Each structure stands twice: as structure tokens, then as C-alpha cells.
């Protein structure tokens, strides 16, 4: 599986934007970039995914570099409820229902 | 409400006993997955099933067993052969298609003493 690299932890002030980086230099042409987050003592929840173009949804935006070797998850206004571990995961689109492979993610702390 | 239910939330067992964790979904999803999470770590895949009566081993299947007799249900048995069973266990499901998101339950925290 292609691997991703994320910082172990990040901190943000409440109501400010947060940019969570992810490096995936060995990404293949059929790998989608998926983001999940896990709140304390809960299961992960899907945030967003994309292939080449930037993506927006109600939770976040995903900015993908032109060479696809890195991406950034953007939370436009961090709230205390956004404090969680954020996982950046590559998933091959061509292989059926392949399971997600989780790394350690980035632990985001939000300061009031 | 549609969703994925894991029960119980907390489970305590004595060493040497088998224990079965329940996972039920009413989302009509074809695929189901079991992951294990240890403190401060990411999730590791135990088993997954893409269709009823079929399942595949994940990265850490030793000491675990599963069944998939119904689409809605994917129970996980932690056997006495699993050397370090104490962990947080997470079940997930998804529809067919490799970019369909996984929906996770809220987990079962198993403690074996």
C-alpha cells in the first residue's frame, strides 16, 4: 500500500482556519486521497476524499497538489468539537472494496 | 435511524476464555470490516467481508475468527489464542465501490485479565 506521512500533532486556536498536511510521494495514478477523523473514544468518521481536483463539502476542503504528492485538509473555522485525530489514507480505486489502511494520523488540539 | 451498532461498549473477560463481539448494521451495506486499535496507535485490520458467506484475513487475523451468515451481521470472536486481546475493537461497513466511505460503529473496549 502507498504510504502517507502526517505530523504527529498540531494545535489551533478556536475559530481560526486549520491546514492539516499529508505527504504521499509514492501515490499511484489510481489512488484516491481519503480523510477520516476520530474523536475521543469513538469510531472514525469520513471527512472527504478526492483524486486530482480540490474538493469541498460541509465539513472541510481538500486541496491536492498538482503533482498529487501531497494534500492538505482545510478546516475553515476550527471549533472545540474538531479536536480529534485526523487520518490521511490512500485507497486504490481499482481493487474492489479494499479496506482502509490507517497510519497514526495527526492529533489536532483546539484551544479556546 | 440507519447505522452500525456494536455491543457491548465495554467487555471484561478472564484470560483463556473466548469472547464474541457483536456488529450489526441496517445500512444495507455489502462490505463489513473489523479493526483493532491499541492506545496511541492507528487502526489495524483484522478481517473483512465483501459479501455474505465470504471473508478475508487482514493484517492481524491470528487469534480471531469471524462469520458472515447474514448481510447485517459480522460477529468477531476473540479466541484464547490471541496473545494480547485487550484493545479497542471497531467495526465498519460500506457499500460496493472502492470510494464509498466506511461507516464505523462506536467500538467495543475489551479488557482481558
Residue B98 has its nearest CB partner, among A36, A91, A101, at A91
Q: What is the C-alpha separation between B86 and B11, in angstroms, rounded?
A: 10
Chain A positions touching B58 (Cβ under 8 A) are 99
For residue A20, the cross-strand partners are A73
CB contact under 8 A, A104 and B98: no
| A80 φ/ψ angles, rounded to the nearest 5 degrees | -60, -30
Residues listed for chain A: 112
Q: What is the C-alpha separation between A110 and A81, in angstroms, rounded?
A: 8
Given CB atoms, is B94 within the 8 Å cutoff of chain A?
Answer: yes
Question: Which tens digits make up the pLDDT trace of A12-22?
Answer: 999 999 999 99
Question: Which tens digits make up the pLDDT trace of B45-99?
Answer: 999 999 999 999 999 999 999 999 999 999 999 999 899 999 999 999 999 776 7
Indicate the DSSP class of residue B73: B
Q: Which residue has the higher pLDDT, A67 or B98?
A: A67
Question: Which tens digits make up the pLDDT trace of B76-88?
Answer: 999 998 999 999 9
Instruction: State the CB neighbour count (10 A cutoff) for residue B9.
Output: 11
Q: What is the C-alpha separation between A59 and B56, in angstroms, rounded?
A: 33
Given CB atoms, is A43 within the 8 Å cutoff of chain B?
Answer: yes
| B100 φ/ψ angles, rounded to the nearest 5 degrees | -75, 135
Amino acid at each position: 500500500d502507498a504510504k502517507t506521512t502526517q505530523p504527529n500533532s498540531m494545535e489551533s486556536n478556536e475559530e481560526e482556519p486549520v491546514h492539516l498536511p499529508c505527504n504521499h510521494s509514492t501515490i499511484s495514478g489510481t489512488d484516491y486521497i481519503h480523510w477520516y477523523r476520530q474523536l475521543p473514544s469513538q469510531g472514525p468518521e469520513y471527512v472527504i476524499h478526492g483524486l486530482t481536483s480540490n474538493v469541498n463539502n460541509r465539513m472541510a476542503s481538500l486541496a491536492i497538489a498538482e503533482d498529487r504528492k501531497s494534500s492538505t485538509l482545510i478546516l475553515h473555522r476550527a471549533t472545540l468539537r474538531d479536536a480529534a485525530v485526523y487520518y490521511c489514507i490512500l485507497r486504490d480505486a481499482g481493487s474492489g472494496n479494499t479496506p482502509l489502511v490507517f497510519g497514526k494520523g495527526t492529533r489536532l488540539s483546539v484551544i479556546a | 435511524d440507519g447505522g452500525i451498532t456494536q455491543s457491548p461498549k465495554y467487555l471484561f473477560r478472564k484470560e483463556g476464555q473466548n469472547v464474541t463481539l457483536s456488529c450489526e448494521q441496517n445500512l444495507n451495506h455489502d462490505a463489513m470490516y473489523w479493526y483493532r486499535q491499541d492506545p496511541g496507535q492507528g487502526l489495524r485490520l483484522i478481517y473483512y467481508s465483501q459479501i455474505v458467506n465470504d471473508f478475508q484475513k487482514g493484517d492481524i487475523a491470528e487469534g480471531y475468527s469471524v462469520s458472515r451468515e447474514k448481510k447485517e451481521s459480522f460477529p468477531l470472536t476473540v479466541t484464547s489464542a490471541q496473545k494480547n486481546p485487550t484493545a479497542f475493537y471497531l467495526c465498519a461497513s460500506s457499500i460496493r465501490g472502492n470510494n464509498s466511505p466506511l461507516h464505523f460503529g462506536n467500538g467495543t473496549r475489551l479488557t482481558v485479565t
